Amino acid sequence: MRAFSMRILLLISPWLLGQVEAIYNPHIEYAGPTFFDKFAYYGNVDNTTWGNVTFLDQTDATAQKLTFINGAGNAVIKVDNTTTLTAGPPGQAVNRNSIRLTSLDSFGLGSLIIIDALHVPFGCSVWPSFWTYGIETEWPLSGEIDIIEAINNMNNNQIALHTVQGCQQQQLTPPAQTGNTLETDCSVPRGCIVAQPADSFGAGFAANGGGVFALQMEVSGIYVWYWNRAALPPNLQSATSSTPIDTTSWGLPSAAYPSGPSCNITQFFPPQNLVLLTTLCGVWAGVPSIYSNTCHTPTGDCFTDNVLGDGSNYVNAYWEIRYIRTYLSSNAIPSGSSSSSPTSPSQTPTGGSTVTQALTTTIASAPTVAPPVSSATTWRIPSATLLALAGSFLLWML
């Protein structure tokens, strides 16, 4: 049986290797003076995760210097940290100003998204996220991918997918990722979560000079990598906006969501728009039992101890981004762009980057019939994940 298994593995390996999609060509770059030109500003209160913020439109954000390009040429996206807020009368909302950006362009399977961030917002009450969602239908029917998301004084990032029922993260042996899976069902309120190591978020991330995150969306699956500044692959260290990217040297991803019987990626993830925001408190960071895990403030109340006051709590509540670069493979599924804002309140996902329990009834009733898959489909598998799949096959045959 062992000899037979090895012969089978040797036979299938050349076929699998021939299906790997590793080269991605430059598509759209968000960087320098034009960074904000291809984003829409939300211009509304946080009506998705119920945070204590008002997301400004572009005119007010620019005037209040909450979005700008700094002297180093990097994009800065801030929470207001200079305005003094006091509690209003009962029933009156008091919000601090912040920013939510959504890309005018969408990105389909066959896309690679890379963000180089020197600083990500952190601190008590702070809830930053860089994620994607499909705007074709009501959220979460078109899926969501959380690339960067954590809260308060956490020290590690969490990657997650959000879908309707029918998608679960497949667990491979040996593992196809370096991260730690906390939840496999992508339709539950918190999504299918993979935790990254310490210092992938928070003060440690900033002290280390930030890092780079990469999202690969393929018919074969969704994969996310993270590297701290000292561990960047050579091809990312030398990359420019016009350099093709080869992913074969990247090793295992931080999180792997391979497509298969447990989750048909083509079904659940049509073209995705990029979203970058920072909210405060809300239905995750502001929950008392969660807030108290990393924040020990005078009253223990997220809003009272942070949002109110002179804003000095938010000195670290800013993004500093060198670039966001997008790439397409030769087999990329066509996506699109919009000259109008995709983020008006009527079009926004009803659950934001965290699903509330109230949505579970709607989620449960959503259709989950997979579309037909053409026999001509090319399955593109990252090389490291390919080895894990081959290893799993061999173990099964032994």
Which residues are designated catalytic?
Answer: 144, 149
Does the CA dihedral 254-275-230-112 come out positive or negative? positive
List the helix and strand counts (H, then E) for the chain: 10, 21
Three-state SS annotation for 33-54: HHHHHHEEECCEECCCCCCCEE
36 contacts 66 by C-beta, under 8 angstroms: no
Nearest to 380 by CA among 267, 247, 241, 226: 247
Classified as helix, coil or strand, 257 is: strand
260 contacts 220 by C-beta, under 8 angstroms: no
Dihedral sign from CA coordinates of 191, 197, 203, 205: negative
Beta-carbon contacts of residue 398 (< 8 Å; ≥ 6 apart)? 1, 2, 5
What secondary structure does DSSP assign to 325-346, as a single string?
EEEE-TTPPP-EE-SS-S-STT
Sign of the dihedral defined by the CA atoms of residues 163, 271, 214, 44, in that order: negative
Separation of alpha carbons 281 and 303, rounded Å: 7
d(Cα 258, Cα 217) in Å, to the nearest integer?
10
Tokens read off for 94: 């008091």
Q: Other CB atoms closer than 10 Å to residue 35's CB: what's the count?
A: 23
Question: For tokens 């204590």, what's the residue?
Answer: 52
Helix (H, G, I), strand (E, B) or coil at 196: coil
Q: Tokens at residue 218, please?
A: 């393929």
Q: How many residues does the chain have?
A: 398
**Contact (Cβ atoms closer than 8 angstroms) between residue 311 and residue 84:** yes
